[in-house]
Structure 1
């Protein structure tokens, strides 16, 4: 059996990675239809311009995981970077922080994304990716 290359490994290698957007309320059949149109490496969800709730995010990430597809989640605002750890506990594999213009936002996002010793994220989240 060939080893599966993770999204993180693909990005680190500089591979071209292609994502596709899907509605948060997609069922398995809808996701299969969307993913069947081309070769994709991840699904992307945008909460900056659409409504979402945590329960639906957990369910969506679970469906995506069943299909072997990681989820990238765009948070609502740069001011929400401190919530990245909480969002990751809900199942996304990647986070997009919109409209970053200050290095302090990058620092805050990284601290919230990584566990100690690199960051400040607390351990937890039964639905977290990986």
Structure 2
């Protein structure tokens, strides 16, 4: 995990949707900064989540789980399976954020019950809340007008480690095109407000991009953790790169994948 105070360039990650444990494990070993397993809008279920988390080695990239809802049972089960943290959707205010934090941590910090799944890799246990980095990482999603209006209060909730933006849902809520939301550079623009708030609160700012172009815009807006591509998108990029090499005998720089194209300098 990365402490907010040491972030320089975005930590680029992959968003896993296919629900295929072996593919997800390979993503985590591929050199990406982190991997998110999507239980809300992806094909993961309880079994494939356990399989994906159980297959990884200790030195693979951090693996977060986007749970289907801000529900203590769902959050606890994802962490029991060995996730390094959770991404909690539809956090609209302080009470929602406090509930997500409580579900993520054991007493006295939270209300999570002890019960790792048999065979899961123990990522954190009682007492691990004193680690130098967030264990587990609790990211709460800003996706609505209500959440945006309350972002400063949400970021101030003890135990919130990251504000994570779902730009497609947020743009719908604000009545904007998603690319209009991403490209706005005014000081009071929604994304600039969120990243500024995170810096002031000393926490991370994360977001879903899904493409190298959107990743570059999010990096320019100051986000620390960016989901630069999906597992399906990376498969397509790999095929494009293979075709380019077959045509020319050397890699085509125009087909570079999202993890090189999404740097802050791009």
Could you say which TM-score interval applies, normalised by the shorter chain?
0.7 to 0.9
Alignment counterpart, residue 20 of structure 1, candidates 14, 17, 21: 14
Q: Distance in 2 between matches of 1:31 and 1:48?
A: 19
Are 2:38 and 1:46 equivalent residues in the alignment? yes
Aligned residues: 118
Match of 1:77 in 2: 69
Are 2:114 and 1:114 equivalent residues in the alignment? no
**TM-score normalised by the chain length of structure 2:** 0.39
**Runs of 5+ consecutive residues of structure 2 not aligned to the other structure:** 125-266
Q: Distance in 1 between matches of 2:88 and 2:97?
A: 9
Q: Distance in 2 between matches of 1:87 and 1:19?
A: 19
Tell me, what secondary structure is at the counterpart of 1:73? strand
Q: Distance in 1 between matches of 2:73 and 2:100?
A: 6
Q: Distance in 2 between matches of 1:117 and 1:34?
A: 32
Q: Distance in 2 between matches of 1:101 and 1:14?
A: 28
Superposed displacement of residue 49, structure 1? 0.9
Superposed displacement of residue 50, structure 1? 2.1
Q: Distance in 1 between matches of 2:79 and 2:28?
A: 23
Instruction: List per-residue Cα deviations over 1:73-120 (Å, max 9, x = no partner).
Output: 111123x24531222001211100112112111111111101111011
Match of 2:231 in 1: none
Q: Distance in 2 between matches of 1:27 and 1:82?
A: 26
**TM-score normalised by the chain length of structure 1:** 0.74
Aligned residue runs from structure 1 range 83-98, under 5 A: 83-98=74-89
8 Å contact kept, 1:11–1:17: no
Tell me, what secondary structure is at the counterpart of 1:19? strand
